[in-house]
Amino acid sequence: MTEAKRRIVIEKNASYRVEGSVPLVRKRQVVSEHGEPMTWVKEEVIETEETYWLCRCGGSSDKPFCDGSHRKDKYDGTETADTGSTAERQETYPGSTGIVIRRDYSLCTSAGFCGNRLAGIEKIATQTEESIVRAQAIAMIERCPSGSLTYAFEDGGPDVEPDLPQQIAVTTEILDSGPVAGPLWVTGGIPIERSDGQPFETRNRVTLCNCGRSGNKPLCDGSHRQPQE
């Protein structure tokens, strides 16, 4: 199949059906000695068929693949995420120089790349007249897995996106308490279709829930980091 035929279809109260031989890999978060997320490292390429099914409910014993647990657990996978465009929801951080920093809060998973122990992106945005600070802001934004953060070089200009491959990454995040399974990180502009056939906006960076607990399905909202009751 050609890349144009690659897509992810959300099956109703069930799994993600991935079509078109989309590469599947494992990626792990790299953190500093202070626990600050810095980047991602690829650990493994996972062998798949042309079409495969990924767990969405979090109950599979064959993760990242679906084993049908959603049927036994009566998983409610109702999709509530906004299908509108990011441009309609974006807010611009004030005070930046030489760069326009935007954020779509509805996409945020609180992955932690947008700050360090000294400052968050809000403060850093006000100091971008310094080129070294501007470069730091760009690096932070480009490592945001959900695409909640973007940047442009002028008001009204298009978002500048990192050059990412068409693939799905099964992620591991590193928390103070230890490693935890993160969302499915979809990159490279792979189309995603709701279970009712309605398309989501095709974006370069998307984080899909695979723990079953997000309040913004099918997107991740960071619920996987919270203790289960």
Per-residue pLDDT band for 206 (boundaries 50, 70, 90) equals: very high
Query: Strands 100-103 and 149-152: what pairing?
Result: antiparallel
Give pLDDT, residue 117. 85
Domain count, the chain: 1
Please indicate, yes or no, if residue 97 is contained in any of the structural domains: yes
Average pLDDT over residues 66-72: 95
In this predicted structure, the answer to whether residue 44 has a pLDDT above a threshold of 60 is yes
Per-residue pLDDT band for 193 (boundaries 50, 70, 90) equals: very high
Give pLDDT, residue 118. 85
Please indicate, yes or no, if residue 163 is contained in any of the structural domains: no
In this predicted structure, the answer to whether residue 1 has a pLDDT above a threshold of 80 is no
Give pLDDT, residue 2. 45
What percent of the chain lies above the pLDDT cut of 70?
Answer: 98
CA 203 centroid distance within chain: 10
Look at the block and give the residue holding tokens 């299908």.
83
Please work out, in degrees rounded to the nearest 5, the angle formed at the alpha carbon of residue 38 by the alpha carbons of 209 and 192.
Answer: 25
Say how far apart CA 8 and CA 134 lie, in whole Å: 35
Range of the domain at 134: 86-152
Per-residue pLDDT tens digits for 20-31: 999 999 999 999
Radius of gyration of the chain (CA): 18
Give pLDDT, residue 168. 98
Please indicate, yes or no, if residue 98 is contained in any of the structural domains: yes
Residue 64, preceding peptide bond in cis (omega within 30° of 0):
yes
Give pLDDT, residue 95. 85
Look at the block and give the residue holding tokens 């799905």.
168
Say how far apart CA 38 and CA 114 lie, in whole Å: 9
Please indicate, yes or no, if residue 172 is contained in any of the structural domains: no
Per-residue pLDDT band for 227 (boundaries 50, 70, 90) equals: confident
Please indicate, yes or no, if residue 119 is contained in any of the structural domains: yes
Compute the mean pLDDT over every residue in the chain, rounded to the nearest whole number.
Answer: 94
Per-residue pLDDT tens digits for 92-133: 998 889 999 999 999 999 999 998 888 889 999 999 999 999
What percent of the chain lies above the pLDDT cut of 90?
Answer: 89
Can you give 189-221 as a three-state secondary structure string? CCCEECCCCCECCCCCEEEECCCCCCCCCCECC
Look at the block and give the residue holding tokens 């690659």.
6
Give pLDDT, residue 229. 63
Q: Structure tokens of 197?
A: 């056939």
